[in-house]
């Protein structure tokens, strides 16, 4: 008799739990596939045998967001990346979200996955990447992203993550949103910056004071983040099921906030993507907040999610 086994398209699933929190991390892309507290989903999830819709829960490296035309210069050389978003003529969300990450540690409440990013067309640099996920009953989820350069030349680097937060089971219009951002970055219809960051005052992107989302349409890179005394900048989303807080530690100077207006009918305005980013779109071209990891050096950034249920 031949035993038949199937493997989901997102690979191995690494479940972790602590107190009322539960999460699942995937081998594919070191993705955060689901996160819940007390059975209440805190992010938009997807099935293990389904590719992440609209980037749900994906880890983005070695750059977040888009690079215009996939072209950039670094260290006196010019490079051309594959156009992974051909309709807009951009290279989007890095090189690692469709890669098979290996697990290096897995405990009841934590998991760490690793990927050796070797030279790639348009990115001839070496990085050892680690993604750590840890749950605690009090603080919820903490994610750490580490990039170490084992190569012989400096490497340009940026990272981001793409959770879609949920504060209820209905649409987002009546939910309350508060963001720590004082400036927004204007972009063209391809998501490429077209100017310098502007004051959010008097704009639809001004959520410094908590208010209802209403009909606001957001797909904006936001910066000028105001951090609390612990160095964390906090975004808050409140709905009928939960108050959800996303915090971004030092090094995450940007949030991309997306209300999902361009998604299909089953996902449109059902969750709010609040994406911590270390740099804005097109940072490989502009150099804005671009990290440079020198040979032998490493950089670690941290963000997380916690929630209070109603």
Is the distance from CB of 8 to CB of 48 less than 8 angstroms?
yes
Is the distance from CB of 276 to CB of 228 less than 8 angstroms?
no
pTM for the whole thing?
0.96
Measure Cα distances from 47 to 6, 33, 89, 97, 212 in Å. Answer: 14, 8, 30, 16, 30
**Residue 276 bridge partners (DSSP):** 255
Whether the ω angle into residue 62 lies within 30 degrees of 0, i.e. cis, is yes
3-state helix, strand, coil in the chain (%, to 5): 0, 45, 50
Under 8 Å CB-to-CB from 75, ≥6 apart: which residues?
153, 154
Helix (H, G, I), strand (E, B) or coil at 180: coil
Q: Which two tokens stand for residue 30?
A: 């070191």
What the chain holds in terms of domains, given with CATH numbers, is 13-309 (2.70.98.10)
From first to last of its 310 residues, what are the pLDDT tens digits of the chain?
555 578 999 999 999 999 999 999 999 999 999 999 999 999 999 999 999 999 999 999 999 999 999 999 999 999 999 999 999 999 999 999 999 999 999 999 999 999 999 999 999 999 999 999 999 999 999 999 999 999 999 999 999 999 999 999 889 999 999 999 999 999 999 999 999 999 999 999 999 999 999 999 999 999 999 999 999 999 999 999 999 999 999 999 999 999 999 999 999 999 999 999 999 999 999 999 999 999 999 999 999 999 999 9
């Amino acid at each position: 008799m031949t035993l038949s086994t199937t493997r989901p398209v997102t690979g191995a699933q690494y479940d972790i739990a602590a107190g009322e929190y539960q999460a699942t991390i995937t081998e594919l892309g070191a993705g955060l596939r689901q996160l819940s507290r007390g059975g209440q989903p805190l992010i938009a999830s997807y099935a293990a045998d389904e590719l992440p819709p609209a980037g749900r829960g994906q880890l983005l490296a070695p750059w977040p967001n888009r690079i215009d035309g996939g072209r950039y210069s670094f260290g006196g050389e010019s490079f051309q990346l594959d156009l992974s978003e051909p309709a807009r003529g951009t290279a989007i969300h890095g090189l690692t979200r469709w890669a098979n990450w290996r697990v290096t540690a897995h405990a009841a409440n934590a998991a760490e996955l690793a990927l050796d990013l070797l030279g790639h067309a348009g990115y001839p640099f070496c990085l050892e990447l680690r993604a750590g996920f840890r749950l605690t009953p009090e603080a919820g989820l903490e994610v750490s992203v580490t990039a170490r350069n084992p190569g012989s030349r400096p490497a340009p680097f940026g990272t981001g993550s793409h959770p879609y937060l949920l504060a209820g089971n209905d649409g987002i219009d009546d939910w309350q949103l508060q963001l720590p951002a004082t400036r927004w970055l204007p972009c063209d219809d391809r998501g490429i910056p077209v100017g310098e960051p502007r004051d959010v005052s008097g704009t639809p992107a001004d959520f410094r004071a908590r208010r209802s989302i209403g009909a606001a349409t957001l797909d904006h890179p936001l910066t000028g983040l105001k951090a609390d005394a612990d160095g964390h900048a906090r975004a808050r989303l409140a709905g009928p099921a939960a108050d959800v807080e996303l915090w971004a530690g030092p090094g995450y100077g940007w949030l991309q906030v997306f209300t999902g207006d361009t998604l299909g009918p089953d996902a449109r305005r059902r969750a709010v993507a609040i994406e911590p980013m270390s740099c804005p779109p097109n940072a490989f071209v502009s150099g804005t907040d671009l990290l440079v990891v020198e040979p032998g050096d490493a950089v670690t950034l941290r963000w997380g999610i916690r929630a209070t249920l109603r």
